[in-house]
Structure formats: structure tokens, C-alpha cells
Structure 1
């Protein structure tokens, strides 16, 4: 807490002042103050536009020698923790380059962003309430990285490698090639990685008459290769065509051990479960995008067309042996759980932009067709006497189809110091799921409207206030709809729910930006028909043991009020700080028989990123990053506090062609989360650790013309890809 108090004292008086205010931006100063403009453009500038917050990286004094990840760490409303990117108050987010989607996630996304040098970044846009142009799926935000204009008739190549030492070592190598000649542009990126990670979970279940103490330890090894090819052809200033392909293939093996001691409350050990096994997984995916842009009326009007194809193959095989000691009787089981999943999606969209003196008009349409095929089998054998008699055999085929059609209209008008934008998106959804095991078909057909509204007011050059409202939908992931069982061990499994329905959320935000470095906001989110997972506990009368079952249900309505304060400025020319404090109050009402009817409480987080330039040429820099999450109540879960202290140093050599960086994450090993909840009459506690303490060495060498950059495409089926995970 000592690290938090100084910054908190600095921001708290302004937090109290700004809760009644709106948002952020700077405006043009009068002609006579042109010298002041020149001074400010050398400092970091935060600009509030009608529907997004803009961080002007090219005016930052501390961005030299950094990459896109370093810049995101100091961007407003953005968090980068354990190499995971998020937006404050949002459960999901999308990263785009020049309004075109990056079709990467996880380590692949992080590694690609590290290839983008800060000197090539013009600004970063943070969109917390996406306008009607974007899909209404998810309580998600958008991070859009705008690059500087590429230099024509040039090329560049970047070779990169990374070595990470956590509990075990991991490494990756990659190459990025860019070429632009006359009307043709080419980007090719390829990456290979071998990751070794551990995961541990200490779980306690307090039943009325027994106490379960379980320890789960998993080690996974993943080998993967992925690549992107992007081709663009510019016929003239008004017409261009692009093709983008992305594909990856991974293989992973995960060894897991699960030990459960079962005792009564006099601490006498009665029973014991020992489960050990291996999970083998093979994933592959292909994504193809065709895009066409046409401008008319002196390039004022623009039409954009996208066609997308996406497929995913996900095969898993989980084999494990469980030895049970129950009332002095010893039994042994061998279980095979096999899952095969195939997903295909075809989508297309068309967008029009028609600005004019009266009002700016945007409108468009999208169609999406998704089909998933799932086959999950389970076979359990009794191997107590060395024989293999079948205890249980199940097989389930689950097929699911979903079609979505959407239309949208957005209007934007500026009047003096006021700026207004309103939009409406209509989405029609038809889906059908069939379970062979249940011999049951479920169908849904509905149309929903998703309005958006934005108001921005610039009172003067230092103060900008804004208001935004948006309605969103969250559809279940495809795998959550499959009713088949997936076993973790003989007494623990999960199952999907074909009856899951979408949830809906209303999001309101008021924000204020002062003098381009201080952002204050208050936001409110209300979620109806929310869904998630619940742990049920069923007693096994034959073995006198309990079974833990993870199920999916629509079981809650919730509301959340969030206050945030963010400051970003240069303390000295060589020292920049970006610090943020966020506090929230959440309230959840449930309709589940096994949960309390209401949960409520406060939570929050604090983060501070300090960047230092260590030499005159700005070729050596240091970052010290601290994140702290306060204890909180999230739905029925009580979550402990946890924190992360990280330090990174970066150096550039050979006229900045060679870059080396050393990064130490979770130095204090304090990023450990404990979750408590009660289901039925069972109190349960989970203490999880994700192998986040590591040291990482990264090297990259650039040659050619390093100023070149090429766009990636914002594909039309991004939401379907997210739900396939």
C-alpha cells in the first residue's frame, strides 16, 4: 500500500471534482498563441473525440525507442498486465491497426505488436463504447493503432527472437517482411514458438460433514507456428483491393496431477483420490479476407466491402487414471475423454461513409453464417483387479448453426462547441442446435435493436466533457452450448447448456479531460439475463463421495458503477508517469437455487507505469510497472487482492537497427488470486497461480527501410472467432 498512497493523494482531489463532469480533449488555440501550441505538441497529448479517446504518440517525449506494447502501457484506459491487454471496465477488447483487425490473440498478438516501433505510430484510439458501425457483440472495447503514412517504394525486414524463463523455459522466433512498390504492398509475418507453462490450483470444499482439500498441478508444452500474408493493390487514389490470410497450427501436451484428501472435521483422513493423466490437443485455423475500397465525390464518400472465411479445428484427448481409497476400499479407473470440434464461418459486410455540410452519414450491412460440429465421447474402465470392464460409455454429437443479419445507420453533427452522434444497429439472429444424446433440437429467432448516442462539449482549450450510451449483446461461446460432459477427473466434470440465451447490457459513461493529461470518468453498466458457470455438488451414494459439476446458466442480473482517474504527464524530460485509479461498486441479483439471492460490494485497481530515458540519445530506456487489484465482489465470487511488480530495460544499437530488451515480470510473486464462494451448502475456495513470474530476453534486428508499414484488415467475422475459443 505504501506504493499507492502518493499517487492516490495526488489524484483524489481531482477525482472528487470530476465525478460530476464529463470527458476529455484539447482544442485549437487562437492564432496569437501559436508558440504555446508548439510547446504543447512536444508533450504527451490526450484528445477526446466524439466516440473515442486519442493518445497522440507522435507528440510524446518518451516514446522514442519503444514499441507498441510499451506505448499501450501508458495509453489512457488501457492495461497491460502479464502480457494481457485490457480496457478498464471491459470484459473483452479488440486490437486494430488503421481500422483493420489484427487476427491474433494471446502471445501471437503480443509478439506482433512488439514489431511495431513507436516512431511509426501516429496515435492510439481507445473506444470504450463502440459506435453502430461495429458489431454489438460483447461488453467489449476497441484499441485502434494508427500508423504514420508509409514511405513508398521501400522495404523492411525484422528478425526477432525471445527467450523466457519461468518455472521452465520457452522461446520463440519470427520474421516480419514488408514491401511497397508503386501500387503494390506486401506484408509477410511468420512466427514459431515453444511454450512450457505450469498451472496450480489449491481447492478446498467444505461439505456439511466432510472437508475436501485438493491440489491440482499441470505442466503444458505447446509447439505452434503461425503466419500472416497481406497483399494490397492501389489502382488509384480512389480504388484499392486487398487480400489477407492468417493461419496457425499448434500441438500441446499437458500432464496433470490431482490429489484430493477427504477428512471429517476432527481432521481424521477418511478417503483419498489420486488422479494423474495427460491431455493432448491439436488446433489449426485458417482465415481469409478479401476487401475492396472505393472513394467518390473528390474522395469524400467512401464504400468499403469485406468478404471473410474462417475455419477452426480443435481436437482434444484427455486420458487419466484415478485411484480411490474410500472407507479402506481401493479402486482404480481409467478414463478416455475425446472431443472433436469443427467451426466454419462465412461473413460479408458493406459500409458507406457520406460526409456533407448538413450531417455526416454512415450506414451499412453485414451477414454472417456459422456452423459448428462437435463429437465428444467418454469411456471409463474399471482396472481395480487389472481387468478392463467398462463402467461408463457415452457419445454425443452436437451440431449448431447460427445466422446473423445486421443493418446500421449513424449520424454525426457538429454545432459550435457541441458535437453529436447517434446510431442504431439492428441484428436479426436465427440459430438451431441439435444434441444426439438428448435427441433434442433447440431453435431461436429474434431481432434486437442496439442504439448508441454520443455528446461532446468543449468548454475551452483545457476542458472537454463527453457523454456516451450504448446497448450491447453477449452471445454464448459455441462450446458453452454443447451439453456433453468433459471430465477433469472421475469426480469432476463440466457440461454445456443448449438452452443458454444471450445477455444484454446498457452502458453509460460521463468523462472529462483536463489540459490533455488528466482523464476522469464515471460509468454505469446494467446487465440483464447474464450467464456464466456455477459449480454444483452432487452426492454419490454408492461411493459416499461428492461430485463437482461445472454448469452454464442464465442466472443473474447485475449493475456496476465505476469511477476512474488517470494522469499522464512528464515529470521531467526523461521521466514520464502514467498512473490510474479505478473504483467500482457492483450488485448482482441471482435466480439460482444454490446461490444467495444478492451479492454486492466494492472493488478497484491501481496501476502506475513509469518510463525513464537513461541517455541523451534516447537509445536506453527503463520501465517500472506496478499493478494492484483490491479485494472485490464479482457476482457470487469474493476475490482477494493481488499485485504485480515488473521492471524492463531496453537498449538500441547499430543506429537503432538492433534492439535488446530484458523484462522481469511478477518479481515479488504476488500475482496469486484466491476466489471464495458458496454453492448450495458448500463453501468453496480456489487459490490459482498461472506461472507469471518470469524473466524474458528479447532481441530484434531490423534492416531495409524501417519506416515502412502496411495495414491489416478489420475482418467482418471477428465476433464469431472470439466465441470459438
Structure 2
């Protein structure tokens, strides 16, 4: 479990209203002075609502020229570490686009989110306890990314370019065009990027008689293009139809170097393991959404229908050479590891919303059909004498099908100062996996209920109390079910587990908000049948070297108690500050024979965001962000402290049509995490660094026409795109 504290930043609100000429309360003023009065409102960067936090991306200095991953790094209650996204006090979560699940995970999720630029993001909602309308998938919370709507009566075009300098340089260019005339709306967005990143991991293994000191260094170069086409047609005020296509394709090459020095505890170097090679990866994805909205004549009730298709192709080829020096005996191996994955999903849902004076009712249904095909092969050759002979060969086909049917009902009622909301979701799941190598078929069929409850009490204008409860499910990623082996080097590999079962969590949260200034909350999460990865250590008698094997198991039950305080205020009109502190206590009980039976401990996070307006026209702004994560115990892992200091400057020119921003991340290079644990009496330590110290320069130019009755509407990008890998 990762516990992340929010990064908060507010900007001072400005009252907005628009008054037309006519006979009203201010008609006594001269007509020439009241034809139109308009004062623009600038929303707070962070807004606290009953069941979620809303991060208004367009008002953040550090968001300019970024992609969705960069934005999530600075969003409240969200942390992106080790290519995993987590919410404060929550073990797992899901990502949504415009209220629709993304059925991707791991590298595929990260790559997809990098194709979404901040210029297209309206806000990010952090939902710690999702209501019954949402899929029960995701042990804890939901991050919902809402895309922008276009201005009415206008067409617009935005050209953008970003240059990022980390260890190596990266860049991206893109264009966004939107148009609406009469009943038709069109949105076209395209983006090209070329990223160069590094990853390093210094690993130590303390075996009974030997000590392994390993150094992993990877440099990856990725070229990718992504695009969205969104068409909408509004038949009348009550009926509208939308069609959206999203697709992307990426190619990446990753150079791998892994050096392991193996010595005894007298510091005498005995053996050496050197592995170097290249991983080539090709990804492509297509998704199509058809949505239909029908309102009744009074616009209080409506029906929403969605049909979605999604496919993903993920091909990897990892070729590497391993040179071993064991007891003065030198050997060499060449390994070819090839993985091909194809995922297809078809899903559909219908939602009904009925509003009346007695009680507001929401109910609906959803069906989802997913099929994944995996083909993984491995061949290892002994090239010591220059002649190739096969040492190891593997060829496994793994096919997996999963069907889910769901029904939900949600009721909402306001009584004076009280607001009640209760829901129940029922999900029926059928899945089947077949491994050709094992000649084994695994089937599961189950029905589960997921209740939710919200209570809000507003005692007065300054004090609001809220309570929420929700039950969730977390299903394994598709790739984690594949029993085939994927080798990192000849003595290290990972394998999936076709017997993995879902985990379940119960989440309770109580919070108090004072005058939109101070928010206090306490939450409790209990997870049953939790699953994750464990490192096993086996002795290789043929090579006289130990082997590290990463496996997936249902191996723990855990609970976590979290306390948090959030404060937001303006020190001066030109200086806003927002800070948050979170403390948590976690306890994990395991049933693994290689881990201790129990782990427990405290952890915490602190964050502070300060925003400054630097000139009278408010066209130049500065933002300083600092995050600190205290040492903690998360499941069986002990995590070191780490921090991040970032500074961003944004300036607007040419009547705000031209925008330039400069953002420096991880200035002190202190965002380095050390993880240690003990597995099978082997103490292991990992010191990881992702290429997070960088400077990013972004430019964007916007132009258009606001007088042709334009209204862009972004429908969903994705439905069911979550667990692919």
C-alpha cells in the first residue's frame, strides 16, 4: 500500500456575474453602463466536495505543457512512483476518463496517459470512496480525468510544443482543433512525442553464504503518436448522440545493463554476472465509443446509453547476452524472449436518472466481454565455445476470457441539513483461462454485492460533517495470470499465476470541513485475500548461483488507519498556500511460508504548494511545490523517506493567446526511494531512481473565432480499459 498526501494549491476566487440590459434591480443605472457586465471567475485549484477532491488543472502553473502523468504527480492525494499510481491511504485504485474506466495497467496505462496532454484536461477528481454507479473494480479509490469542453459560439485551434531535459532530452508536438456549427460538433486532437528516459536500480541480496551486489541501468527511447476524433450531434435540447475514436501507436527500444558482483562475507569477489541487451516493444490501441443521451421534456430525468469497443496489441522482444564467471569458469549465453499479447473488450451500459421531490433515483446495468490472447516464447543458447546449443526452451500460449454483468441502484434524499445517499451494486463474473504448456484450464464463477453509503450533515454555513462507506473488488491484471516465464537475465525471471483470485476491501471515511478552510478526515481500509508479487530465491545447482523469481500470490490480509489535515488560505491577495499532512498506521498478516507472519508500522506524508501572482495583469505566475514522504512499512516492505521540490513559472502574452511555461522538477534529486524486505531468510534491498529530475519548457498558441455558435463536447475516451498489461 502506498500512502500519498495531497499537494494543494488555491487561487483566490473572484466573484462572477453577467447582467444584461433590462428592467431589473439595477436598471436605474445608465443604459450605456449596464449593457453587459462580466467579471471572470477563477476556480480554486483544489475544490473539496462531499465524495471527492477536484483538482482544476487549467489553473495550475505546473500543468502547462505537461501530460496526464505529469499532472497526476502534482494532483491532491495522488502519487506516481515506480510507474504505479496510488491514492493516499489506499492500496489500489482505478483510472477513468470522463467517468469511464480505462482497462489498462502497468506500462500500458502509463503510456496511454502520456498521450493525454494537460491542455485537454479540465480537472481531475480524486474519489476515495466511489458510489454504486461506478464499477466495483479497484480495491479503493478512483481517479477520474475530465476532459475540457469548448467555449460556446466559437471554433478554436491550439498548437503546442514541449521540450524536456532530464538525463536526455525529450520533446512533443501537438494540435487540437474543435468546431461546432448548429447541431454538429467536431474535435480532432493529434500528438507526437519522442521520450528518452533512464531507470536505475541498485539491488543487494544477502544470501546465507554469498552477497550479491547488482546494478541495473536502462535507457529507453520511445516514439509515439496518438489521436482523438470526437463527433457529436444534438438533435434537440433533450436528445444528443456522440461518437468518439481514440488510438495510439508507440515503438520503444530499451537498452539493458545488469551487473552482479557475487562475493563471500570476507569481501572476496568470487563470481560475476554480466547481462546486456535490448528490449524492443511495439504497442497499438484502438477504442470506439458510441453514446446516446435522452432527456425528458422537463429535463429532470434522463437515459444514457454507452457502447464501447477496445483493443490492445502489445508485442515485446527481449534479446540479451549473459556472461558468467563462476569459480573461474567463464560461460556465455544468448537469450531470445518474445511476448505477444492481444486484448479485446466489448462493453455496454445503460443508466437511468430520475429526479423528484421524494427521492432521487439512479439505476442501471452494464455488460462487459473481454478476451486476451498471450503467446510467450523463450530460447536460450550456450555460446561459450562459439557454437550455439539450446540450454532452455519455452513456448506457452495462454488465453483468458472474462465476462461481467452488473446491476446497480442508488437513492439520494435531502432532509433539512442532512443529505443521505445509499447504493447497492451486484456484479456477476465468469472467467476461464487456458495454458497450453500446462494443458490446464481454470474457471471461476461468482456473484458479489457491493454496498455504498454516504451521509452529509451541514450544521451551519461553516461546518460540514460527512461519512462514507464502500465495498470494492480488485481483480488481477491479465498478464499476472499468465504462468509463462519472462526472463530479465539468465538468473532472474517473473511468472504469472493462473490461480490468482480477486481481493476485497471495505472502506470507511469520516471528515469535517470548516469554512472551506480546514478539512480533517480519518479513514479505515481493510483488505482481504490481497495479492501481489513476492521474490523467491532458489539455488541453481547447474550454475552454482542463486536465482531470483518474481511470483504472484494471494498472500495477505491488511488494514490501514489514516489521519489527514488539509489547510488552504490566502496569505496575501498575490500569495496562496495549501498544505496537507497525513499519518497512517498499517498492519499486514501474511500466509506465505517465505515471509514473516505479521508486519506493522507508521508512515506519513507532507505536502505544501505555494502560488504567487507576480504582476498586476496576472499574466505571470509562480508555483513552488514541496512533498515529503516519511519512512513507512507497506505490507512486507520497509520504505525509506524521499522528497520532491519543484518550481514552475508561467507567462501569457498577446492577449493571453501565447503561453510559455518553465517547470523544474525534483530540483534536489531527492526523489529516490529505497525498499528493503526479507523473503525466504534472504534480506534484499532496492534503491530505485526514475528519471524525475528535469526541466520542461512548454509553448502553446491559441487562436479561433468565438462567433459561429461553436460548442465542443468531449464524450468518453474509454470504457473498460484497466487491467491490461
- SS of structure 2 residue aligned to 1:112: helix
Normalised TM-score (structure 1) = 0.89
Structure-2 change in CA distance of 1:669 and 1:28 (3 Å): farther
Change (3 A) 1:712 1:639: farther
Q: What secondary structure is seen at the aligned counterpart in 2 of 1:12?
A: coil
TM-superposed deviation, 1:290: 0.3
Q: Cα gap change, 1:439/1:582 in structure 2, threshold over 3 Å: closer, same or farther?
A: same
More off after superposition, 648-657 vs 63-72: 63-72
Point out the more displaced range, 315-324 or 13-22.
13-22
Distance 2:224 2:307 in 1: 27
CA contact (8 A) 1:68 1:117 kept: yes
- Superposed displacement of residue 76, structure 1: 5.2
Residue 153 of structure 1 and its aligned partner are, at CA, apart by: 3.5
| Residue equivalent to 1:665 | 665
Matches of 1:164 and 1:62, distance apart in 2 = 13
Q: Is the Cα–Cα contact under 8 Å of residues 378 and 393 in structure 2 kept in the other structure? A: yes
CA contact (8 A) 1:98 1:711 kept: no
* 1:164-190 Cα shifts (integer Å, max 9, x gaps): 111111110000111111111111110
Local SS of the residue matching 1:16: coil
Any conservation in 2 of the 1:295–1:302 contact (CA below 8 Å)? Answer: yes
The offset of 1:152, in angstroms, is: 3.3
CA distance in 1, matches of 2:565, 2:13: 10
8 Å contact 2:7–2:75 — kept in the other structure?
no
Seen in structure 2, the aligned counterparts of structure 1 residues 23 and 272 have a Cα distance that, compared at 3 Å, is farther
TM-score of the superposed pair, with normalisation by structure 2: 0.89
* Alpha carbons of structure 1 residues 167 and 146: separation in structure 2 relative to 1, 3 Å: closer
The verdict on how the C-alpha distance between 1:324 and 1:120 changes in structure 2, with shifts beyond 3 A counting, is: closer
Residues 290, 550 of structure 1: alpha-carbon distance in 2 compared, 3 angstrom cutoff: same
CA distance in 1 between counterparts of 2:600 and 2:20 reads 24
**Which piece of structure 1 moves more, 174-183 or 86-95?**
86-95
Cα separation, 1, equivalents of 2:430 and 2:62: 50
Deviates more, 1:269-278 or 1:705-714: 705-714
Give the secondary-structure state (helix, strand or coil) at the position aligned to 1:19. strand
Q: Deviations over 1:214-271 (max 9, x none)?
A: 1111111110000011111110010000001000000011111111111000011111
Q: Deviations over 1:122-156 (max 9, x none)?
A: 87644221110000001343455678975433200
Post-superposition shift, 1:97? Answer: 6.7
Question: Is the alpha carbon distance of 1:210 and 1:13 closer, same or farther for their aligned partners in structure 2, counting shifts above 3 Å?
Answer: farther
Distance 1:22 1:454 in 2: 44
Q: Distance in 1 between matches of 2:463 and 2:25?
A: 7
Q: What is the CA distance between 1:662 and its match in structure 2? A: 0.7
Partner Cα separation in structure 1 for residue 122 and residue 290 of structure 2: 26
Contact map agreement 1:233 1:241 (CA 8 A) in 2? yes
1:343/1:11 CA distance change after superposition, 3 Å:
closer
Q: Is contact 2:411-2:422 (8 Å) kept?
A: yes
Q: 1:315 to 1:75 in 2, by over 3 A?
A: closer
Contact 1:607 1:627 in 2 (8 A): yes
Is the contact between residue 102 and residue 712 of structure 1 (CA under 8 Å) also seen in structure 2? no
Change (3 A) 1:9 1:359: closer
The answer as to whether partners of 2:172 and 2:193 remain within 8 angstroms in 1 is yes
Secondary structure of the residue that 2:649 maps to in structure 1?
strand
Does the CA-based 8 Å contact 2:154-2:711 persist in structure 1? no
Change (3 A) 1:388 1:708: farther
**Does structure 2 retain, via aligned residues, the 8 Å contact 1:74–1:568?**
no
**Residues of 2 paired with 1:702 and 1:108: CA distance?**
31
Q: How many residues align?
A: 725
RMSD of aligned C-alpha atoms?
7.1
Q: 1:405 to 1:64 in 2, by over 3 A?
A: closer
**1:10/1:678 CA distance change after superposition, 3 Å:** farther
> Unpaired segments of 5 or more residues in structure 1?
none
Instruction: Pick closer, same or farther for the CA change 1:36–1:713 going to 2, 3 Å.
Output: closer
Question: Matches of 2:23 and 2:548 in 1, distance apart?
Answer: 47
- Quote the offset at 1:111 in angstroms: 12
**SS of aligned partner of 2:212:** strand
Using the TM superposition, give the Cα deviation of residue 544 of structure 1 relative to its aligned residue in structure 2, in angstroms: 1.3
- Please give the per-residue CA displacement for 1:279-313, whole angstroms capped at 9, x wherever unaligned: 11000000000000000141111100000000000
What is the alpha-carbon distance in structure 1 between the residues aligned to residue 111 and residue 88 of structure 2? 22
| Equivalent pair of 2:426/2:450 in contact (CA under 8 Å) | yes
Distance 1:297 1:94, change over 3 A: farther
Partner of 1:230: 230
Aligned residue number for residue 172 of structure 1? 172
- Kindly indicate whether the alpha-carbon contact (under 8 Å) linking 1:26 and 1:46 is maintained by their aligned counterparts in 2: no
Separation (CA, whole Å) in 2 of partners of 1:216 and 1:20: 66
Residue pair 2:476, 2:502 contacting (<8 A) in 1 also: yes
Question: In the TM superposition, what is the alpha-carbon distance from 1:715 to its structure 2 partner?
Answer: 8.3
- Contact 2:154/2:710 (CA < 8 Å) preserved in 1? no
Alpha-carbon shift at residue 422 of structure 1 (Å): 0.4
Q: Is the 8 A contact 1:25 1:458 kept in 2?
A: no
Residues 209 and 698 of structure 1: is their aligned pair in 2 closer, same or farther, counting only changes over 3 Å?
Answer: same
Query: How far apart are the structure 2 equivalents of 1:198 and 1:418?
Result: 52
Which shows bigger deviation, 172-181 or 60-69?
60-69
| Offset from partner CA, 1:343-380 (integer Å, 9 cap, x none) | 00000000000011111000000000000001100101
Deviation at 1:569, TM superposition (A): 1.5
Distance 2:108 2:155 in 1: 23
Whether the 8 Å CA contact 1:161–1:698 is kept in 2: the answer is yes
Cα deviation digits, residues 617-649 of structure 1 (max 9, x gap): 111111111111100000000000000111111
Q: Kindly indicate whether the alpha-carbon contact (under 8 Å) linking 2:180 and 2:712 is maintained by their aligned counterparts in 1.
A: no
* Partners of 1:139 and 1:473 within 8 A in 2: yes
Cα offset, 1:27, TM superposition: 30
Deviations along 1:572-608, one digit per CA (max 9) or x if unpaired, are 1111111111111000000000000000000111111
What is the alpha-carbon distance in structure 1 between the residues aligned to residue 563 and residue 58 of structure 2?
Answer: 29
Measured against aligned partners, the alpha-carbon deviations of 1:647-699 in whole angstroms (never above 9, x if no partner) come to 11111111111111111111111111000000011000000011111111111
DSSP 3-state at the match of 2:21: coil
SS of the residue 1:5 aligns to: coil
Deviation of 1:202 after TM superposition, in Å, equals 0.5
Structure 1 pair 565/535, CA: closer, same or farther in 2 (3 Å)? same
Quickly say closer, same or farther: Cα 1:540–1:25, change in 2 above 3 A.
farther
Q: How far apart are the structure 2 equivalents of 1:287 and 1:656?
A: 35
Identify which range, 670-679 or 122-131, moves more after superposition.
122-131
How many angstroms does 1:560 deviate by?
0.4
Give distance in 1, aligned partners of 2:576 and 2:526. 36
3-state SS, counterpart of residue 408 of structure 1:
strand
Tell me how far apart the structure 2 counterparts of residues 77 and 27 of structure 1 sit (CA, whole Å).
Answer: 47
- Offset from partner CA, 1:74-128 (integer Å, 9 cap, x none): 8754568899975423455566676567899999999999999999998764422
In structure 2, the CA distance between the partners of 1:266 and 1:519, relative to structure 1 (3 Å rule), is same
Q: Secondary structure at the match of 2:432?
A: strand
1:571–1:577 contact (8 Å) kept in structure 2: yes
CA shift for structure 1 position 519: 1.1
Once the two structures are overlaid, the 10-residue window that deviates more, 11-20 or 411-420, is 11-20
Deviates more, 1:705-714 or 1:517-526: 705-714
For 2:476 and 2:508, locate their aligned partners in 1 and report how far apart those are by CA, in whole Å.
23
Whether 1:307 and 2:314 are equivalent positions in the alignment is: no
Q: How big is the shift at 1:69?
A: 9.6
Checking the alignment, whether the CA contact within 8 Å between 2:5 and 2:76 is kept in structure 1 is no
Structure 2 equivalent of residue 344 of structure 1: 344
Deviation at residue 518 of structure 1 after TM alignment: 1.4
The structure-2 alpha-carbon separation of the partners of 1:34 and 1:142, relative to structure 1 and needing over 3 Å to count, comes to farther
CA shift for structure 1 position 517: 1.9
Q: What 5-or-longer segments of structure 2 have no aligned partner?
A: none
Compared CA separation, residues 110 and 682, structure 1 to 2 (3 A): closer
Change (3 A) 1:640 1:711: farther
Q: Is the 8 A contact 1:22 1:521 kept in 2?
A: no
> How has the CA–CA distance of structure 1 residues 138 and 461 changed in structure 2, closer, same or farther, with 3 Å as cutoff?
same
